[in-house]
Chain A
């Protein structure tokens, strides 16, 4: 039905539909799933997302290796001091993104969106914006479906794997998906969704994947935190009417080429970046 962003955009325009409506139509056509079953699955996904984004806010969750933990609670407590630089919605988004990352690293239940390593970004983004604008669960699901459309195009034309494209392909793609979701949730246009998705991706183009000891913990959790903020500012850029000079499909293509050009040491091998620092090496020896 569509392979490129431009094709999805044209479909939306010619059929006068939102991205999420086209995504539902495509899923039903291709998999023969019923509308009710599709929504049931979306609700299960949403519930797991909400739980993981909140579970580490009021108690300290420690990862299996012991490397990270307790940071989501620190951020949530910090938010309540009401004296932060970024303001409460940004701090709250950071806390929720860290929460899901910590739940993931502690072997708790999460939704890979698009991957486990980047699973903190999308839940945090949609929950914070739902709360701020008093939206419904249905609005969140429309956001998630919009995000899924963006993710699908990137997966088809580039990659969503850190081993193939660096962290720009995991946290970068999650940010891009989340940015489009947020624009949709607050009533932005389909064009604005694609602009937001482009901004989020190009804001962090070149982001390497360098997990210490190869574990999805440090710096992964921090990058989920910055990823959700990236999604929010990208959505605001697009909603303000700013356009991406380079179209979405070309940004996706550029991201893929950058990923291919990165040395293996910077793509999930734990041989470069912070994983290869003296401290990173020391921790690796201690844990593994």
Chain B
């Protein structure tokens, strides 16, 4: 039996018309931008799956997703005009209806394109009540909600890396809530949810480890 609090029942404060199609979509877009951690993209392509593909226009899912990648949260009144705001900023957006395979009905693949580096993508779903689940980052399978501060690290798989990372966190007085590590061709991917807000010093210290290839920290996005 899931427990509910006051603000699960009275809330979220959001831009209508649908918590999964609009509020969840805005969070998904914003989370994708936070994970990509680089705002210099000139183009974003959204592959929309399932119910997202069928009803995105009427529900404003397209505007909410674009609002998210522009950094707006689910209760930002500019969501309605996000397509124009993106145009003014010179960011190209495109929506493609596509079957992404066996995924949650409200799923999007969001691809960021940059002039000076490779594309970056995430796949995530809006799973109801404005909640989201990120399931893939650039081909790495992950699973996290964005409700907690989350650290995403890619590193060359070597003995002792996990202990080096966890001791950095211990020194910063940070408690690890969940941790998942997967591995492909000697490259490991770690997703950690922690109890405290992410500070730059944590990210900098982990990034300084020789084996670390990529790291980003994402603080929770309000519902």
CB pair A116 B55 closer than 8 Å? no
Residue picked from A42, A115, A177, most chain B C-beta under 10 Å? A115
B79 at the interface (CB under 8 A from A): yes
Select A41's contact among B1, B7, B9, B54, beta carbons within 8 Å: B7
B59 at the interface (CB under 8 A from A): yes
CB pair B10 A215 closer than 8 Å? no
Chain B residues lying within 8 Å of A104, measured Cβ to Cβ, are: 16-17
Closest to A164 in B: B128
CB pair A113 B55 closer than 8 Å? no
A81 at the interface (CB under 8 A from B): no
Closest to B57 in A: A288
Select B79's contact among A27, A107, A288, beta carbons within 8 Å: A107
State in angstroms the CA–CA spacing of A265 and B48 once bound together. 23
* Known pairs A3-B1, A151-B9; A109 contacts B22 (CB<8 A): no
Select B55's contact among A112, A147, A213, beta carbons within 8 Å: A213
Closest to B77 in A: A109
B14 at the interface (CB under 8 A from A): yes
State in angstroms the CA–CA spacing of A27 and B3 once bound together. 11
Chain A residues lying within 8 Å of B186, measured Cβ to Cβ, are: none
State in angstroms the CA–CA spacing of A215 and B16 once bound together. 11
Determine how close the nearest CB of chain B comes to the CB of A153; give it in whole angstroms: 9
Query: How many residues in A have their beta carbons less than 8 Å from beta carbons of B?
Result: 50
CB pair A287 B58 closer than 8 Å? yes
Determine how close the nearest CB of chain B comes to the CB of A60; give it in whole angstroms: 16
State in angstroms the CA–CA spacing of A107 and B79 once bound together. 8
Closest to A20 in B: B6
State in angstroms the CA–CA spacing of A30 and B3 once bound together. 10
CB pair B11 A107 closer than 8 Å? no
State in angstroms the CA–CA spacing of A23 and B8 once bound together. 13
A64 at the interface (CB under 8 A from B): yes
State in angstroms the CA–CA spacing of A273 and B2 once bound together. 31
State in angstroms the CA–CA spacing of A151 and B129 once bound together. 14
Chain B residues lying within 8 Å of A287, measured Cβ to Cβ, are: 57-58
B12 at the interface (CB under 8 A from A): yes
Chain A residues lying within 8 Å of B13, measured Cβ to Cβ, are: 44-45, 48, 109-111
CB pair B60 A116 closer than 8 Å? no
Chain B residues lying within 8 Å of A38, measured Cβ to Cβ, are: 6
CB pair B15 A108 closer than 8 Å? yes
State in angstroms the CA–CA spacing of A115 and B23 once bound together. 11
B102 at the interface (CB under 8 A from A): no
CB pair B55 A107 closer than 8 Å? no
Chain B residues lying within 8 Å of A44, measured Cβ to Cβ, are: 13
Select A105's contact among B16, B55, B63, B77, beta carbons within 8 Å: B16
State in angstroms the CA–CA spacing of A44 and B12 once bound together. 11
Chain A residues lying within 8 Å of B3, measured Cβ to Cβ, are: 30, 156
State in angstroms the CA–CA spacing of A157 and B2 once bound together. 9
CB pair B14 A144 closer than 8 Å? no
Chain A residues lying within 8 Å of B54, measured Cβ to Cβ, are: 214, 288
A152 at the interface (CB under 8 A from B): yes
* Known pairs A116-B14, A151-B9; A107 contacts B60 (CB<8 A): yes
A31 at the interface (CB under 8 A from B): yes
CB pair A156 B6 closer than 8 Å? no
CB pair A23 B63 closer than 8 Å? no
Determine how close the nearest CB of chain A comes to the CB of B194; give it in whole angstroms: 17
Residue picked from B12, B16, B18, B128, most chain A C-beta under 10 Å? B16
B19 at the interface (CB under 8 A from A): yes
CB pair A115 B19 closer than 8 Å? yes
CB pair B9 A155 closer than 8 Å? yes
Chain A residues lying within 8 Å of B80, measured Cβ to Cβ, are: 64, 106-108
CB pair A106 B58 closer than 8 Å? no
Question: Which residues 65-102 in A have Cβ within 8 Å of B in the complex?
Answer: 65
Chain A residues lying within 8 Å of B23, measured Cβ to Cβ, are: 112, 116
* Known pairs A3-B1, A112-B130; A106 contacts B16 (CB<8 A): yes
Chain B, residues 62-79, CB within 8 Å of chain A (1/0): the string is 010000000000010101
CB pair B58 A148 closer than 8 Å? no
A124 at the interface (CB under 8 A from B): no
CB pair A23 B6 closer than 8 Å? yes
Of all A-B residue pairs in the complex, the 4 with the closest CB atoms, nearest first, are A104-B16, A151-B9, A216-B17, A107-B80
A sample of 4 more A-B contacts (CB under 8 A), given A107-B79, A115-B129, A213-B55, is A30-B5, A106-B16, A113-B9, A116-B16
